[in-house]
């Protein structure tokens, strides 16, 4: 009997450079990435997924700008390009090469069930790009080209990570190997789903046409404060327990954001703030957000003044990533039967 292989503990995650990092990306993803990096128990690889961004039309110059700005965001949030590997997806060609193999492993039916595909393609699926449909196979390739064991993400990526496990399982089974690990999704913290400031039942998103619905990491202090003060709430004071917020999604969202920014759990925050009126709480939240986010946006602008340095960092990241991805792709090609 063959022994189950042990995989190097390795974390991978990615963010699309599709413009404007939000507080959702920051709390749901970036702060978690920094935690993994700082814990030091796993190798950590973080990626700007430019190939994913082009599944919908992008202006070339804007895409280049957004990719560099996202890199600045990673650095400003605390990703250290020495301790982590920081890459731009298209600079590591093995992602796209493995994605092709996965296009031949994944089934049409699996892809058709993805809620993100249904939401994004909408009623006009005939006119959507083939890339948008195949998007989750590329995402599985991002993760598995490094045999990553853990993937921290926000709640909206859960279904894609289940598909990644299905692809790994089917590949291993079809070829009678244990080449890929069955990756663990890591969806944790107080802000796995940051909601719109204008509608607590809708996800905060960079594609929402209403700018006041989200906090952008590039917003200045006044804008951040104004957006929180104008966030939708209700006239009741804060309760002492999280269950009492079940029917108050807008307020629950603000409390979750406060807890995540402050690195505490929701129960502790509510125990302290019970009875406070929302107007007062929103002011406290605005102050906390400005305190935490302003240094990040300032650092991002500073880094963006030297794009050549960002490009150098990405080139170095790609070189380090390829030391891992090239041998894994070779292994895959051998298993599949490619002559090399």
Query: DSSP labels for 165-176?
Result: HHHHHHHHHHHT
Q: Shortest Cβ distance from residue 160 to ligand TYM (Å)?
A: 6
Q: Which stretch binds ligand TYM (CB under 6 A): 23-31, 124-132, 278-286, 295-303?
A: 23-31
* CB closer to ligand TYM, 30 vs 290: 30
Helical residues (DSSP H) of the chain, grouped into ranges: 23-25, 31-39, 50-53, 60-77, 94-103, 108-112, 115-121, 130-144, 158-175, 221-229, 249-262, 266-273, 278-304, 307-336
Q: Measured on CA atoms in the order 43, 47, 51, 54, is the torsion positive or negative?
A: positive
Q: Shortest Cβ distance from residue 240 to ligand TYM (Å)?
A: 25
* CB closer to ligand TYM, 24 vs 181: 24
* Residue 260 binds to ligand TYM (criterion: CB under 6 A): no
Helix (H) or strand (E) holding 44: strand 43-48
* CB closer to ligand TYM, 116 vs 237: 116
CA angle 262, 264, 269 (to 5 degrees): 90
DSSP state of 54: T
Selected binder of ligand TYM within 52, 147, 227, 248 (CB under 6 A): 52
The footprint of ligand TYM on this chain (CB under 6 A) covers a number of residues equal to: 26
* Residue 51 binds to ligand TYM (criterion: CB under 6 A): no
* Residue 15 binds to ligand TYM (criterion: CB under 6 A): yes
Per the annotation, the verdict on 203 as an active-site residue is yes
Binding to ligand TYM (CB under 6 A) within 76-95 occurs at none
Using left for φ > 0, alpha for ψ between -120 and 50, and beta otherwise, residue 27 falls in alpha
**CB within 8 A of 306, min separation 6: which ones?**
none
The one catalytic residue in 206, 232, 273, 276 is 206
Separation of alpha carbons 293 and 219, rounded Å = 9
CA angle 107, 109, 166 (to 5 degrees): 55
Q: Which stretch binds ligand TYM (CB under 6 A): 6-14, 77-85, 170-178, 245-253?
A: 6-14
Q: Which stretch binds ligand TYM (CB under 6 A): 190-198, 217-225, 275-283, 324-332?
A: 190-198
Q: Shortest Cβ distance from residue 203 to ligand TYM (Å)?
A: 5
The CA radius of gyration of the chain, in Å to the nearest whole number, is 21
Per the annotation, the verdict on 120 as an active-site residue is yes
Interface map 121-150 toward ligand TYM (x if CB under 6 A): ------------------x--xx-------
* CB closer to ligand TYM, 96 vs 237: 96
Q: Which stretch binds ligand TYM (CB under 6 A): 8-16, 222-230, 270-278, 321-329?
A: 8-16
Per the annotation, the verdict on 202 as an active-site residue is no
Separation of alpha carbons 297 and 302, rounded Å = 9
178 near 171, Cβ under 8 Å?
no
Selected binder of ligand TYM within 11, 25, 71, 228 (CB under 6 A): 25
Selected binder of ligand TYM within 79, 153, 225, 278 (CB under 6 A): 153
SS3 10: strand
Separation of alpha carbons 202 and 204, rounded Å = 7
32 near 189, Cβ under 8 Å?
yes
Give the binding site for ligand TYM (CB under 6 A): 12-16, 24-25, 28-29, 49, 52, 139, 142-143, 151, 153-154, 156-157, 160, 191-194, 203-204
Catalytic residues: 120, 203, 206
């Amino acid at each position: 009997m063959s022994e189950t292989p042990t995989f190097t503990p390795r974390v991978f995650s990615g963010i699309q450079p599709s413009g404007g990092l939000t507080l959702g990306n920051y709390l749901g993803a970036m702060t978690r990435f920094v935690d993994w990096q700082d814990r030091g128990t796993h190798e950590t690889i973080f990626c700007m997924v430019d190939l994913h961004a082009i599944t919908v039309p992008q202006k070339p110059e804007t895409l280049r700008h957004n990719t560099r700005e996202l890199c600045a965001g990673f650095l400003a949030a605390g990703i250290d390009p020495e301790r982590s590997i920081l890459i731009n997806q298209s600079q590591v060609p093995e992602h796209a090469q493995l994605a092709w193999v996965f296009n031949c492993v994944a089934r049409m039916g699996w892809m058709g069930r993805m809620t993100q595909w249904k939401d994004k393609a909408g009623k006009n699926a005939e006119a959507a790009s083939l890339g948008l449909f195949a998007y989750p196979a590329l995402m599985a390739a991002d993760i598995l080209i490094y045999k990553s064991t853990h993937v921290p993400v926000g709640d909206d990526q859960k279904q894609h990570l289940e598909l990644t496990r299905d692809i790994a399982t089917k590949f291993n089974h079809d070829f009678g190997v244990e080449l890929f690990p069955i990756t663990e999704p890591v969806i944790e913290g107080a802000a796995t789903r940051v909601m719109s400031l204008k509608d607590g039942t809708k996800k905060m998103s960079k594609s929402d046409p209403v700018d006041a619905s989200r906090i952008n990491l590039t917003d200045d202090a006044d804008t951040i404060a104004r957006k929180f003060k104008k966030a939708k709430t209700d006239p009741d004071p804060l309760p002492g327990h999280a269950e009492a917020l079940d029917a108050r999604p807008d307020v629950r969202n603000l409390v979750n954001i406060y807890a995540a920014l402050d690195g505490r759990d929701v129960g502790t925050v509510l125990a302290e703030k019970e009875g406070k009126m929302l107007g007062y709480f929103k002011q406290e939240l605005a102050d906390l957000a400005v305190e935490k986010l302003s240094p990040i946006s300032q650092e991002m602008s500073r880094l963006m003044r030297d794009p050549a340095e960002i490009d150098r960092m990405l080139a170095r990241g790609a070189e380090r990533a390829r030391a891992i991805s090239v041998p894994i792709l070779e292994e895959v090609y051998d298993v599949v039967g490619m002559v090399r």
